Structure 1
C-alpha cells in the first residue's frame, strides 16, 4: 500500500481552496495541495502545478484532479517541468473534480493501494447523487 498525495488543479482559486478544505475535514492526514487560479483571475498555470507536485512527499504517489480540459493540459505540461522522480509517480485522474477527489481522499485515508484509490475516484463518475 502506498501513501497518496492529492493535487487539485482548478481555474478558480476559491474552488481549489474550498475543495482542499473539504478534503481535509473528510480525510484528515491525507497530503493535499492545490494549484488554482491566476491570482484573482480564472486560469491555471503549469509552473504552479509543477510546484504543487514537487511539494508532495517523495514516497507518495500523486493523484491530480482537474476541473476543465485546459487544467488537464497544464497538469500534463507540469509533468514535463518536474524531475522524472516526480513525474513517474504522478497520475492525472479522469474523474469528476469534487466527487472524484472526495472518493480518492477517503480511499487514500483508508490506505488502499493507489490503483484502488484511482478506481474509486473514476467510479465516482457513475454514482448517482440522488438515491430513489
Structure 2
C-alpha cells in the first residue's frame, strides 16, 4: 500500500530531525523526509532541499508539506511550482502537531485530502 508522503520544512535541521524522530516512534511505513536549514546548513530554508525532500517522499497518493515559518511556506510554494507533480499540498498547521497527525493518518492509508483535513483538526480539536 502506498502512503501520502510527509515533508517537514524548518529553518533548523535540528527541528525537523527531532520531529521526524517523534513521528518514527509511532509511524514506520510512511515516507517522512526533511528539509531543514539552508544549503550551507545555516538557519533558513532552501528550495532545493524542499524539492529533494518532495522527490524522496513522493508516492502516487501525493505529498503533504508542513512548515514552521512564513518564508518556509514561500519556499514550499516555489518548490511545488517547480515540481512535475500536481498532487502536493501545503498544510497550514502547527509543524509538530500537524505533521504527527498527518503521518498517523497517512499510515492508515488515507488520501491526500483526508490526511490534510485530519492535520487541520489540530487547529480546532472540537470539530
Aligned partners of 1:108 and 1:59: how far apart in 2? 13
> Bigger CA drift: 115-124 or 39-48?
39-48
- Counting matched residue pairs gives 125
Q: Which runs of 4+ in 1 moved over 3 A?
A: none
Matches within 5 A, 1:1-132: 3-38=3-38, 39-83=40-84, 86=85, 88-127=86-125
Aligned partners of 1:26 and 1:109: how far apart in 2? 10
- The alignment yields a C-alpha RMSD, in angstroms, of 1.7
Q: By how many angstroms is 1:116 displaced? A: 1.5
Structure 1 64/57 Cα, relative in aligned 2: closer, same or farther at 3 Å?
Answer: closer
Aligned partners of 1:24 and 1:48: how far apart in 2? 21
Q: By how many angstroms is 1:111 displaced? A: 1.2
Aligned partners of 1:60 and 1:114: how far apart in 2? 6
TM-score, normalised by the number of residues in structure 1? 0.87
Q: What's the secondary structure of 1:47's corresponding residue? A: helix
Which segments of 5 or more consecutive residues in structure 2 lack a partner in the other structure? Answer: none
Q: By how many angstroms is 1:64 displaced? A: 0.1
TM-score, normalised by the number of residues in structure 2? 0.90
Aligned partners of 1:51 and 1:15: how far apart in 2? 18
Which segments of 5 or more consecutive residues in structure 1 lack a partner in the other structure? Answer: none
Q: Is 2:13–2:41's contact at 8 Å kept on the other side of the alignment? A: yes
Larger helix percent = 1
